[in-house]
């Protein structure tokens, strides 16, 4: 399997309507696990219960840490990714296959970043090979694996 080029956009806040539109547009809901349904009930519909909270707690890296990431089956891409950051922002992403022609993959990534930025009114986007999603602003600015950046984060 070729490596994946991960494309992300930063949204300064968590917005239930935007999250619902991202899921509707890019996620293969039928092939996703119960954690997506728990996420939808908590963050899109606002009807959380203890079972949903526990399912989402399993996604957190550390107890008491507010960051978590959902890796989901996508409709037309390798993967769809939703990260709720430590600072209340949201990072939305799509993974696409990155065959041997990296310049061509980056051109497609640039188009996808621009599409996502427009669709979700995101101020900034980035892409990189096997790039993990940022858990906060400082991680967003890390350069080590980023091959493409577009736009800028608004002042906090």
Residues 2-52: tens digit of each pLDDT: 678 999 999 999 999 999 999 999 999 998 888 898 888 888 888 878 887
DSSP 89-123: -EEEEEEEE--S-HHHHHHHHHHHHHHHHHHHT-S
Query: Does the model's pTM come out above 0.75?
Result: yes
Domain boundaries, the chain: 4-151
Q: Rounded to whole angstroms, how far apart are CA atoms 67 and 64?
A: 9
- Number of residues written out for the chain: 156
**Which residue has tokens 């980023």?**
146
pLDDT in tens, 80-127: 999 999 999 999 999 988 777 788 888 999 999 999 999 999 999 999
């Amino acid at each position: 399997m070729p490596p994946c080029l991960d494309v992300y956009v930063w949204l300064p806040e968590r917005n239930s309507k935007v999250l619902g539109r991202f899921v509707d547009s890019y996620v293969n809901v039928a092939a996703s696990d119960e954690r997506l349904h728990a996420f939808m009930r908590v963050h899109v519909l606002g009807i959380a219960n203890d079972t949903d909270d526990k399912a989402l707690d399993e996604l957190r890296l550390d107890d008491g840490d507010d960051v978590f990431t959902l890796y989901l089956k996508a409709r037309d891409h390798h993967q769809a990714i939703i990260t709720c950051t430590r600072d209340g922002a949201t990072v939305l992403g799509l993974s696409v296959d990155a065959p041997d022609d990296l310049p061509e993959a980056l051109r497609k990534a640039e188009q996808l970043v621009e599409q996502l930025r427009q669709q979700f009114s995101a101020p900034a986007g980035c892409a990189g090979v096997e790039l993990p999603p940022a858990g906060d602003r400082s991680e967003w600015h890390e350069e080590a694996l980023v091959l493409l950046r577009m736009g800028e984060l608004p002042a906090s």
